[in-house]
Each structure stands twice: as structure tokens, then as C-alpha cells.
């Protein structure tokens, strides 16, 4: 146990360091965690022992896997069902093109230009077909676009895009056996019953028993994840669908989602992203920069050529079209999950994995910076909050930080 606690403390120290750097440099925390992990991996490989932090130990892989599952659930839960229904044509069309254009383009590039085998090329297409729900959602919150119909359309398209990625990862690489059929049947039944059971647990026990919803959701995700792994699939697939199914029920409780997000981002996902970066081989990327440039160019160019004309059907403003297109060209969470799945299952080797992660990181940073610097459609932003609303908001924030808001709202309701 001494060794485990020591190793865990080092990983969490890297997580704290990543958070400080991300805050100072004003970039995504997940992105910084991958970069810090890659730096730590290089230092260990160059000067110490590559296995000194036990990146492939079972307990560390479990914590990282739990983080990926809960983060995937939260990404699905961020969906606004009403907005998705209102803009179904736009988000479906844009989301599907956003998936298929880079999937086909990057698969062909990896197979014909780089000479990778078919399975590695298909994994490349899956990993680089993603858009980054985490990055896009953070940008939407930062500028306030999440409250506009424009921002809700982007988030809906990101959801459809990433759903295509998750499904493709399961369909292409999961072996089709009787286990697959059992997995599909049980998942279908679970998704049908999940909203009803969750709603009943919330009504009966939600305000009486400590954190029962968190325990219930973690149980469901772990159970479905175990079933997915038993069937040879990926644990994030049922997690994403579960989040989508519960988006209109549990996700409406913002304070519960915040607490679940704190557990996930505060402890679990830093281990996942740090480990993903730790497994990157920086010397491999430096030794062959042309491969990285081919993959990065293939992802971004295929996204732009596929999406810009389609988005033009729904958006007349050039700035809106370019901003929409560039944000849809990002990639981070599901790209790194797909690449790590490929490495873990022997679909790609460590050098190929390193190129994919480097491309994913670059696609998270460069399109976002260009979009915000050159094409920000600030004319769509809502008017600033009225002065009389600010004290009420500050009061609510103070109560929430002191864990008193639920009690305050209950008293107010009784009055």
C-alpha cells in the first residue's frame, strides 16, 4: 500500500501542477494534463525508468477508465433535448458530415500516404473524426454562446459527431459474437428502464439519502462498462448513451451535475489524461514531423471542406460559418480515448499512438485559437445581465460554495 499511495501522490501532484499551468496560460485543463503527462513520460524515459510511475498497473488503469466513463457520461448529459429537437435537421446534417468527412479522409491518408495497415488506418479515421465536446462546451460557457440558439446548434452538432465516433469505435473493432448480441440486448433494456428507475430513486431518496444518485449512476456505468469489456467493446459506448438518455431528467439538476463533475474532474479524469500523455513518445514525433503534419492537415482540411459548405446552408454570416466550422474541427476527449483504445488493444503501436495524440492536441488548440481571434461572432451574444440581478447571483454562488443552497431553497419553497 505504501508504494500505491506514493505513486498516487505523484500523479495527483502532476494534476495540481497541470491545473496551475492551465489557469496561468488560459487553455483547457485536459489539454494541459496531456502535455504535462507527455513531459513527465519523456523525463522518466530519458533520465529515470519508463515504468517508475507504473502507468500500466491495474489500479491506475481502473482509475483512468473510471474517469473516461464518467466524463463520457457527463458529455452526453450536457445535451439539451429540446434544442436538439428544434434544430434536428441542422445538428444531424452537420454532425454526420463532421464525422464522415474526416473519417474517410484520414483513413485514406493513413492507409495510402503513410502505409499503415487497415486496422490502424481505420482507428486513425475514428480518432481524428471527433470534435471536442469538452473544448467547445468550455468556449460556449466562456463567451455565453451556450444560452443562444447558435451555440446550442453547435453543441448539438458536436454531440451527433461524437456519437458517430463512439458507435464507429464499437462497430468496427468489437468482435461480433454471441456476447455482442447479449451486450446490445441488455444495454437496450437498461436504457429503456434507466430514466424511470433513476427518476423514482430521485423522488423517493434523492433528498434523504446522501449522494444516492451518484452511487446509482456510478453503479450503472461500471456495470455496463464491465458488460461492454466482456463483449469485447469499449466501456465509453454505454456511458455516452446513458448520459444522452438521462439528459432530460438527472441533468436538469444543475447542482447534482456540478457535484458529479467535481468528483470526475477533480480526481478521476486528471489520471486519465496524464496517463494518456505519459504514454506518448515525444522522440517519435520529433523524429518524423511530416507524419504529424499529414495527419493534422488531413483532419482539419477534411473537416473544413466537408463542413463549411454545409454550415452555409444554415448560416448566412461568413463569421458565423467559419466560427462554427473551426470549433467543429477541434478534437480532444474522444480522440484521445479512441487512440488509447487502439494502443491498449494492439491496433496501433506506440509510435502511431504518439502521432495520433499529438494531432489530437494540436487540433484542440489551433482551430480554437484561430476561431476566437479572427471569427468570434460577438454580435450574437446576449445583452449583459441587469445590475439588479448580479447581487442575487452572487448570493446564490456564496450559498452553493458553502453547501447551503439546497437548505436555503427548501426554506424558501416552504415559505
Percent of the chain exceeding pLDDT 70 equals: 88
How many CA atoms lie less than 13 Å away from 364 in the CB half-sphere? 28
Q: 344 Cβ partners below 8 Å, 6+ apart?
A: none
Domains (ranges, CATH) in the chain? Answer: 58-382 (1.20.1530.20), 385-415 (no CATH)
Could you tell me the three cell numbers for 405? 443552497
According to the model, what pLDDT value does residue 56 have? Answer: 80
Q: Which residue has the higher pLDDT, 414 or 36?
A: 36
pLDDT band for 210, please (50, 70, 90 cuts): low
For 90-129, what is each residue's pLDDT tens digit? 889 999 999 999 999 999 999 999 999 999 999 999 999 9
Inter-CA distances, 87 with 81, 154, 160, 185, Å: 10, 10, 12, 30
pLDDT-wise least confident of 254-258, 275-279, 343-347: 254-258
Output the pLDDT for position 116.
93
First-to-final CA distance of the chain: 52
pLDDT digits (tens, 9 = 90+) for 237-246: 788 788 878 8
Provide the mean pLDDT of the chain: 81
Q: How confident is the model at residue 386 (pLDDT cuts 50, 70, 90)?
A: very low
- Position with higher pLDDT, 154 vs 258: 154
Which range has highest mean pLDDT (23-27, 251-255, 399-403)?
Answer: 23-27
Phi, psi of 344 (to 5 degrees): -60, -35
Mean pLDDT of 39-67: 85
Of 109-113, 253-257, 401-405, which gets the smallest average pLDDT? Answer: 401-405
- Which residues, 6 or more positions from 331, have their beta carbon under 8 angstroms from its beta carbon? 127, 128, 130, 131, 132, 299, 359, 360, 363, 364
| Most confident option among 17-31, 196-210, 316-330 | 316-330
SS3 87: coil
Q: What is the CA radius of gyration of the chain?
A: 21
Cell numbers that stand for 274 in this block: 496524464
Alpha helices in 315-404 (DSSP H): 318-328, 333-344, 350-374, 389-401
Q: Do 302 and 102 contact (CB within 8 A), yes or no?
A: yes
What pLDDT is attached to residue 110? 94
Return the closest-CA partner of residue 343 out of 353, 332, 334.
353
pLDDT category of residue 142 using cuts at 50, 70 and 90: low
The 3-state secondary structure of 191-226 reads: HHHHHHHHHHHHHHHCCCCCCHHHHHHHHHHHHHHH
Which residues, other chains included, contact 356 with Cβ-Cβ below 8 Å and sequence gap of 6+? 123, 124, 127, 128, 295, 335, 339, 342, 348
Q: What is the pLDDT of residue 54?
A: 84
- Mean pLDDT value across residues 316-342: 87
93-126: b (≥16 Cβ within 10 Å) or e: bbbbbbbbbbbebbbebbbeebebeeebbbbbbb
| Residue 389, pLDDT score | 44
CA distance 40 to 7: 13
Amino acid at each position: 500500500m505504501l508504494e500505491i499511495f506514493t505513486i498516487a501522490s505523484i500523479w495527483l501532484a502532476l494534476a495540481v501542477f497541470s491545473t496551475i499551468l492551465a489557469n496561468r496560460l488560459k487553455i483547457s485543463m485536459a489539454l494541459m494534463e496531456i502535455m504535462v503527462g507527455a513531459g513527465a513520460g519523456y523525463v522518466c524515459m530519458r533520465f529515470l525508468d519508463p515504468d517508475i510511475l507504473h502507468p500500466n498497473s491495474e489500479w491506475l488503469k481502473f482509475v483512468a477508465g473510471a474517469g473516461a466513463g464518467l466524463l463520457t457520461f457527463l458529455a452526453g448529459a450536457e445535451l439539451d433535448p429540446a434544442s436538439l429537437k428544434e434544430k434536428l435537421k441542422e445538428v444531424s446534417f452537420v454532425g454526420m458530415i463532421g464525422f464522415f468527412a474526416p473519417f474517410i479522409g484520414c483513413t485514406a491518408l493513413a492507409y495510402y500516404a503513410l502505409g499503415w495497415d487497415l486496422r490502424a488506418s481505420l482507428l486513425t479515421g475514428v480518432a481524428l473524426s471527433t470534435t471536442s465536446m469538452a473544448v467547445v462546451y468550455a468556449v460556449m460557457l466562456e463567451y455565453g454562446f451556450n444560452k443562444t440558439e447558435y451555440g446550442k446548434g453547435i453543441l448539438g452538432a458536436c454531440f451527433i459527431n461524437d456519437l458517430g465516433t463512439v458507435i464507429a469505435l464499437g462497430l468496427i473493432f468489437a468482435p461480433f459474437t454471441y456476447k455482442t448480441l447479449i451486450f446490445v440486448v441488455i444495454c437496450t433494456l437498461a436504457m429503456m428502464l434507466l430514466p424511470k428507475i433513476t427518476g423514482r430513486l430521485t423522488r423517493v431518496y434523492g433528498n434523504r439519502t446522501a449522494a444516492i444518485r451518484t452511487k446509482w449512476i456510478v453503479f450503472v456505468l461500471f456495470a455496463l462498462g464491465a458488460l461492454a469489456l466482456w463483449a469485447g467493446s469499449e466501456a465509453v459506448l454505454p456511458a455516452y448513451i446513458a448520459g444522452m438518455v438521462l439528459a432530460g431528467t438527472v441533468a436538469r439538476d444543475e447542482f447534482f451535475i456540478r457535484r458529479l463533475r467535481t468528483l470526475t474532474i477533480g480526481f478521476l479524469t486528471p489520471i486519465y489524461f496524464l496517463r494518456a500523455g505519459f504514454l506518448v513518445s515525444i522522440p517519435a514525433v520529433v523524429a518524423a514531423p511530416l507524419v504529424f503534419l499529414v495527419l493534422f492537415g488531413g483532419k482539419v482540411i477534411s473537416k473544413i471542406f466537408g463542413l463549411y459548405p454545409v454550415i452555409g446552408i444554415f448560416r448566412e454570416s461568413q463569421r458565423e460559418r467559419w466560427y462554427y466550422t473551426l470549433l467543429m474541427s477541434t478534437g480532444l476527449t474522444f480522440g484521445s480515448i479512441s487512440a488509447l483504445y487502439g494502443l491498449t488493444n494492439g491496433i496501433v503501436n506506440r509510435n502511431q499512438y504518439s502521432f495520433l495524440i499529438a494531432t489530437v492536441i494540436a487540433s484542440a488548440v489551433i482551430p480554437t485559437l484561430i476561431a476566437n481571434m479572427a471569427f468570434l461572432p460577438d454580435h450574437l451574444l446576449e445583452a449583459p445581465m441587469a445590475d439588479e440581478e448580479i447581487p442575487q447571483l452572487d448570493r446564490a454562488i456564496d450559498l452553493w460554495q458553502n453547501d447551503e443552497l439546497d437548505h436555503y431553497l427548501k426554506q424558501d419553497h416552504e415559505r
